[in-house]
Structure 1
Amino acid sequence: MIKGTFKGCYIANFSNQIRENFGFLTNEICIQFCESIKKDFASLIGTECFCGNSLNETNLVFNDECFYKCNGNQSQFCGGFNRVSVFEIINVQFFLSCSKSGEKYKKINCSIYLNITSPSTSPLKLSNFESDNNATIQIDFGDQDLRNLSIQPNLEVIIEKIYNETGTFRIKAILMNTPLNNTASVKIERVSIEIDSNNDYQGCFFDRYPYEMYPITYVSKLNMSNKFCQDFCGIFDTNYSATYNGDSCSCGNTFGSFNRPKYNTKCDLVCTGNKSEKCGGKNLLPFSIFISDT
């Protein structure tokens, strides 16, 4: 995006300037023309546009001395008697990059970069982009998390985000007061469970719809134990066995979509076949998970 920042009204000085008479002139026409020939400043007087790479600040006068209305847009001013309306030209590019995937409850990162350059190779004064040297970015993470950020041009900003739900989320960032915006998407999956290879018992975990441990089930009102369930699931070559309700056994190859129980929900039911063991729980289906392929 090309942006012209109004510098003020100046005494006309046409040395080292490229001149073009458009006949039909607006601020935008002159700014775009000067940018196309790699000039940093656009100066307007009447129907004429002048382009250059330097500005003599001592020639600055009061803005009301530039009172000529632009014939292409009567709401704009195009200089005055021996006066020019001057704009500094900058090129604005806006980039957004986010992690392609992540896990629920874990941080992902988004990178925002606002690139500000001049048409020529002249040093750019960033203060001419915004009065406080910063730009405002609004970023919508697609889950009702809307943030406004103040960022400094030409410096990368890293933003951390944690999603509390799974799914694919569309992230949109807008550079305020401009038409510039960018989008990205991130796929959030359940938290991976780290397997304890040194122990058969993996812990107490939820299992709710869509169920992971329900393809194969067995109920024994008298003889259920965790060892029995492990042996039973081993017959079907599943990776994990799970006991619950004190008397039930299920088998599966994944677990942990709903993570560990919180608050007072836990695996606290005695196994019907071994009173010294716990075989899961009842409320909200917390399961005692064991490795079954040992």
Structure 2
Amino acid sequence: MAIDGVSASRETTRSQVSRQTFFGLSALLFAVSATLTIVCCASMSAMGEMPMPGGWGLSMVWVRMCGQTWPGVAASFLGMWAVMMAAMMLPSFAPILWRCGQALSRTGETRPGQLTALVALGYFFVWIVLGMAVFILGVALAALEIQLPALARPVPVVAGVVVLIGGLLQFTAWKAHHLVCCRQVPGCARRLSVGAGNAWRHGLRHGLHCSYCCVGLTAILFAIGVMDLRVMVAVTAAITAERLAPAGERVARTIGFVAVGTGLYLIMRAAGL
């Protein structure tokens, strides 16, 4: 009985140390990515914006400057996107990743750390691929707005409409489904313990659920200002709250009300009402 008590005490101590190490490293990665995001935003802010018809400014993140090549611009954007997504998603993703690792440890898996790392890599790979798609779309829209002033004039109203739609998505069953998938990882240990390939695919699946769940909030971020730190902080807080709060769906709907109100305000302001 005494031996069992000592073993249990040692196991508890190891678990506590492991937990502290994991969340300590997560906090360090968050701090580094947040700092780099702030530096990137400051750099883009110093470059200014291109005045556009309709009284708004086009971020230079979508424009190739003199001496730049498109591969260089794309690489720069993806670097900014990667650190920005790490800063925005880590607060809500780290607890899920920890629970996956713990579930694996309880199965007797000898490589829980490696498999958990593969889940994380698969998860963030989805966000990098999404960043590539966002860059292509952003550059294409920017080129059209520069070449066709008639398309640029209604952009402030369109931005308000995008925010409004992003808010309305918060009330849909589609959003609720993917939010549940993001908050819970059913069958985590059973799936991951099969092998590295399954761990990678599990990370991809979770990344897809997460990106689907965030599509409305991500659209709001781009509509209001992709390199605006205030918007980033607000969107990060919203994502974290709806993932970690006990009543996630209720939080998501509250965020939806705020976003809908913001979208209506932006539309009325752009229309001069």
Q: TM-score, normalised by structure 1?
A: 0.20
Q: When you count helix as a share of all residues, which structure comes out higher?
A: 2
Structure with higher Rg: it is 1
Q: Which has the higher contact order (CA 8 A, sep 6+)?
A: 2
Q: When you count strand as a share of all residues, which structure comes out higher?
A: 1
